[in-house]
Chain A
């Protein structure tokens, strides 16, 4: 039995989004011959289609590689790829709990950005050994020396040991692997102590039940062993253990310090909690591992099946998705316009988009998501406090004493030239710039208080476009503040569409209503009759636009060879219509329900 962990290195790769984590992971797999070049697909660790298509990492993924180091020793590296978007910060902290080290990737052309700072802080707080990698040095615009200085100044990390690499060409990858050997500590742990292992992720497999990704801190896990989950108290017999290389490879055991998977055989995903500690029911360890605090959803949207018969399927799909996305929460919601669905809580807008897309693709559902809302605290004249996550649930105005909304403390890092533009944008979004600190000559860190509801409109897109992509953003919840909020309703052909209502600051209601009516006019296709679109606060109409009736649709030639083509066109047209929601007599495309997101307010 091995008790020597000196050859093991457990590390995560963390970075601001788009700084090249996944590419570096790919090069490491290639360099260590974990994957033949022949089988190399870009972004190997990103197994979801959505991840590859969008070039982002959403889920953490643990892969084992072996590396023959210059010192003649063969090392076992457990590499945990992590997401880079601010929505998924909780995934990063989960991954870090299983590691001794972190590779902090910084783009040589972009330098230190907001997520670089927050990831570095997460790694430092988790007491990890940090290896800095300056990536994309193959690009002509790379400035590794400037970035090295930024790492020293802005992160207070020793940058002389930073490794220059190119995930694209593979240059410097061996130096990086050597640095990991020397700078990251081997795991400590006692093989003779009672089993103590952290469940850092899990997924559901139709045949094998729940499969958990674990990190063993003490003891070992063997196939056939009885195991207990300390928080839930549930037990199961281990149906197999192994690691991913990156395909699953079964092993006789997971030893101390190792990362791998455990087949639980449990058929109910809800029985396995990510963050729980696995131990031996006959000889339990003294104390569970700290686990994670639950990620708190910040953004709420109604999610409805286009076809209401799919309601139960949607519920099942949400339950299955929750297995490896424990941050998901939902409660049933009913809409006059959209029927039965759920109010789902998300970590942010990207998370919302990703969840909707996963539900549609992995579970073959057609869904409509309403515009996202935040969790308002509504104090009634009767003195009670209601948590309102959906505009529909807002009490009548005369029953409301005041409404408080969640606010954020946001950190924006931007070159000094764009400070003015950012301040302007912050003001437009009801925010306040608290202070700013020069990190270096070329970057300023601004601290901003801003309502969450403003941030989930189009703040991030606007920030990127007004700073030519230079600004980066990170934020955390700061508290609730009273605000003058009203409910804006939208009427289509005279009927109020509850799913299009939203809560908005009174000062912005008129401009938003006007923008939204115009935008809906562009989205709602012309129908066989005229469709008025109105914005209203209470009984007062504050804006109006009209979709004219269609007089004529596309007429095409239809001779011999055109007939099949014509039929296919009609089928596509029917498919398009099927994906629309009929509200009263009006066919409404799904984008309409998100239109409020894109409203160019004020302008």
Chain B
């Protein structure tokens, strides 16, 4: 067992496929007071007194106990309770769940809980802090009431500001999510939203252009038209504006859409981008395990098939629905979508994800790519350099340029393309 690696890059890439356990844990609570217009996540509008909520949380806790029994939580250093709206389940239930995670993951250094302003009362903040959460990530999205209404959010700007400030006061690390290229948004209103959350003293901000996903209320409302407010040029301008304002306030961009004050980066999210194995529990949650980790998990999940020869990485996505999970909490009863990745695919995936980070693709990952893929890699690299999507960074890392960030799909597509020989 490796000695307490901080989540993210401590285990060098070439050794990573051999790591048998997980370093990050995700718990999904698929409940919301109301479905937002743009949302296509695994989440359903639920009354907070629905007995399903209690049964579901109980089931997650049972699965957590099973994982502990399996000995796979010992190396977990970060945890994240996401949704949906975790805070919808109430202070007592969420507090108990968080405390449970704390108890079972002894090496935890970061525990984030997602929250919505409307369900982040003082009692909730207190419960989170007491039960061992270190961080809240608040879905603010905008500080303009008009924009919030058009997104189908149920909170107002004033309430959001007030709750973000309270969260900062409570001593937890606080992150805010903001959305750009949304209906009614102007350059000025976007500046106000950014300035607003900065004014509350948050240490971390994530900014995303709104993506109009198929089958959402928003897509139906738009009926296949491309609205001017979501034009790629508008998105580009807003992202550039955010970069300027946030860095001016001392928050450094460390991922394409993530900004943090020194020491406030989200270690859990970094795990996703650096090829670190993670476990996910709950409807729609994804796990990423090494072959060894997967074989070990199978000792309590006999329903899972043999990994094919040559697979070094497995991604599992829980397909069991909320009710099914609440009724049959056993890990052995879960149904999962499975994806098996070859070494080459795992490498290409890590290159693709590494290109999202401002630190870029780590030097040892670059070396692995060079060794494994030879001329193909050099060709892709030349291509990316020529198109100005990446630049050589310190110590042999490859960092995305501003252009590489904006034209992300071009760059990620180029890197993921290496998965196919």
Contacts and interface: CB of A to CB of B under 8 A. Distances in A.
Asked if A and B are interacting partners, one says yes
Nearest to B337: A564
Contacts of B412: 566, 570
Contacts of B287: 560
Interface string A553-593: 11111111101101101110110000000000000000000
B353 interface: yes
Interface string B79-109: 0000000000000000000000000000000
A183 to B, nearest CB: 52
B413 A552 contact: no
Contacts of A566: 352, 412
Contacts of A556: 208, 211
Given A560-B286, A561-B286, A570-B409, A555 B235 contact: yes
Contacts of A570: 352, 409, 412-413, 416-417
A550 interface: yes
Q: Which bucket holds chain B's interface residue count?
A: 35 or more
A553 B239 CA distance: 12
B236 interface: yes
B121 interface: no
B256 interface: yes
Contacts, number: 85
Contacts of B408: 553, 555
B26 A560 contact: yes
A83 B290 CA distance: 58
Interface string B269-298: 100110000101000111110000000000
Given A557-B208, A561-B286, A574-B413, A550 B353 contact: no
Given A554-B409, A555-B257, A564 B232 contact: no
Contacts of B236: 551-552
A528 interface: yes
Q: Which bucket holds chain A's interface residue count?
A: 20 to 34
Contacts of B208: 555-557
Nearest to B207: A555
A571 B409 CA distance: 10
A555 B256 contact: yes
A551 B349 contact: no
Given A564-B286, A564-B317, A567-B349, A553 B410 contact: yes
B235 A560 contact: no
A548 B232 CA distance: 11
A561 B284 CA distance: 8
A-side binding surface: helix, strand, loop or mixed?
loop
Interface in B288-316: 288, 315
Given A564-B315, A567-B416, A571-B416, A553 B407 contact: yes
B327 interface: no
A552 B285 contact: no
A202 B210 CA distance: 56
Interface string B243-283: 00000000000001100000000000100110000101000
Interface in B391-413: 406-410, 412-413
Contacts of A571: 416
A193 to B, nearest CB: 65
A552 B235 contact: yes
B315 A563 contact: yes
Contacts of B286: 560-561, 563-564
Contacts of A553: 232, 406-410
Interface string A493-520: 0000000000000000000000000000
A570 B416 CA distance: 8
A558 B356 contact: yes
A566 B349 CA distance: 10
Contacts of B409: 553-554, 569-570, 573
A526 B235 CA distance: 15
A573 to B, nearest CB: 6
12 contacts: A526-B232, A550-B407, A551-B233, A553-B406, A553-B409, A555-B257, A558-B273, A560-B286, A560-B288, A561-B280, A567-B352, A570-B352
The 3 nearest A-B residue pairs measured at CB: A552-B236, A561-B286, A551-B236
Given A552-B235, A563-B286, A570-B416, 19 more contacts: A551-B236, A553-B409, A554-B211, A554-B232, A556-B208, A557-B208, A558-B273, A558-B356, A560-B278, A560-B280, A560-B287, A561-B285, A563-B272, A563-B315, A564-B339, A567-B349, A567-B416, A570-B409, A570-B413
Interface of B: 26, 208-209, 211, 232-233, 235-236, 239, 256-257, 269, 272-273, 278, 280, 284-288, 315, 317, 339, 349, 352-353, 356, 387, 406-410, 412-413, 416-417
Interface of A: 526, 528, 548, 550-561, 563-564, 566-567, 569-571, 573-574
